[in-house]
Amino acid sequence: MEKDAKVAVTECRDTRLEKIRATAHGPERREVDNVAAKPRPTDKLWTKTPAESEWMTKRAEVRGGSEFLRQADRCRAMGAPFVASVLEAVERQLPHAPISAAMIRSWEGDPAAAAIAMRFNGALNALARRGASASLTRLYGGDHSDFDGAIAEALSLEDAFIARWLEHPPQTNEVARAGAIVAALLTARTRWNMPFELLDLGTSAGLNLNLARYFYRLGAISVGDPTSAVRVEPQWRGPSPPIAPLEIASARGVDLQPLDASNPEHRERLLSFAWANQQDRYKRLEAALQIASIHPPRVDQGDAMTWLNERLEEPQPEGRGRAVIHTMFIQYLSDQDRLQIDETMEQAGARASDKRPLLRIGFEWTPDRSKVELRLTQWPTGSTRVLAICHPYGDWLDWQPTA
């Protein structure tokens, strides 16, 4: 069995490594989902304060053990007990999947940065949704709580499927993060009374390019389309964002391996990366996919750095702002690529004016992964402000008052 596993790893390794290197510019989809679990079929809403969130993130980093156990800690800390229990059972039952286990043992690079645990979790969710393992499907449906038995069976039956799934990074395209982006756009709109065009780096299926078609309740204010099936209503802490129109002139994104919302396989892949037992996320994602099938986002396939430079070189009409946005994207780039984006933005910012302003809106982990910050940089001044501390999936925002 071990010999067969090594042969399988050798055969797919070159292809897998090439794909892994190619994903350096993918989006939040590659995030190391900070997540986790208790054995029960339903998840609690997140109710921790930002300080508690920071403490639990650091605790997860020092627990030790495999990446599955570290991610399980984070899942449980973020209110996903079911996912945590899945990952803990995978850690115990991994020998039932020798090909996948060998791939993980031979993984080159940081398994956390590659989101190995979340890739595995997505594979199991996909198998449960497809009914490939009866016991696994019943576990995900809440019919029993034998995590070890169901996952051992699934790993034994579907090792080859899981190994293939591990070759690809997660695709979350979390729509709830659009609430943070909108709050930043409203903040900028109070200074510049004009519409903005959006440029989204690592856009996946481009669901957040349709953010103007969604409804938002952000603190005490409401904005967007009140009839939309996509409703983004994060728990809000602190003062509300400013009241201003949400007006998007155009929206365009880039991804190395974009997904197509009209493709059933791509839709199922996105749904498989939504955490099991979080029905609100599923409903919001399904609604966003439906909107995208009617209003296809403009998504280009390509390298983010090259694409960004080309877009920022294009003429910007007077009376129109330009906003470069990215969510859970920057941390997966090399230092050189991050520096290149910074330099590109600074060069474009030097050409900005009050009649042609430029924004950079980032929803990203801090370098030490202690918290997620919503940052807004505005040119021509180049000033930067941390607008909010956020839940990684946008479930809550702690709006930071101005100094």
> How many residues does this entry show for the chain?
403
> Which is higher by pLDDT, 192 or 47?
192
Which pairing describes strands 383-390 and 372-379: parallel, antiparallel, or unpaired? Answer: antiparallel
> Which is higher by pLDDT, 31 or 134?
134
Q: What is the H or E stretch that residue 72 is in?
A: helix 67-77
| pLDDT score, position 108 | 84
pLDDT tens readout for residues 329-367: 987 788 899 999 999 999 999 999 999 999 999 999 898
- The pTM for the full model equals 0.77
pLDDT tens readout for residues 266-322: 988 898 988 877 888 889 999 999 999 999 999 999 999 999 999 999 999 999 999
| pLDDT score, position 55 | 31
pLDDT tens readout for residues 208-265: 999 999 999 999 999 999 999 999 999 999 999 999 999 999 999 999 889 999 999 8
Give the pLDDT mean for 182-210: 96
Give the C-alpha distances (Å, rounded to integers) separating 264 from 164, 171, 260, 271, 280: 18, 14, 9, 10, 21
| pLDDT score, position 42 | 31
| pLDDT score, position 65 | 55
308 and 341 in contact (C-beta within 8 Å)? yes
pLDDT band at 113; cut points 50, 70, 90: confident
| pLDDT score, position 115 | 83
Go through 301-317 and write b for each residue having 16 or more CB atoms within 10 A of its CB, e for each that does not. eeebbebbbebbeeebe
| pLDDT score, position 217 | 98
Instruction: Give the start-to-end residue ranges of the domains of the chain.
Output: 2-30+32-166, 175-399
> By mean pLDDT, which of 1-10, 37-46, 335-344 is the weakest?
37-46
| pLDDT score, position 128 | 95
Strands lying side by side in the sheet with 215-218 = 221-224, 215-218, 231-232
The pLDDT mean for the chain works out to: 84
Residue 92 has pLDDT above 60, yes or no: yes
Give the C-alpha distances (Å, rounded to integers) separating 391 from 34, 53, 73, 176, 271: 10, 8, 16, 10, 20
Q: At what angle do helices 159-166 and 2-22 cross, to 10 degrees?
A: 30
Question: For residue 380, what are the contacts with CB-CB under 8 A and spacing of at least 6?
Answer: 349, 352, 353, 354, 357, 358
* H helices, E strands: number in the chain: 14, 12
| pLDDT score, position 28 | 34
Residue 146 has pLDDT above 70, yes or no: yes
**Separation between Cα atoms, residue 335 and residue 110, nearest integer Å:** 15
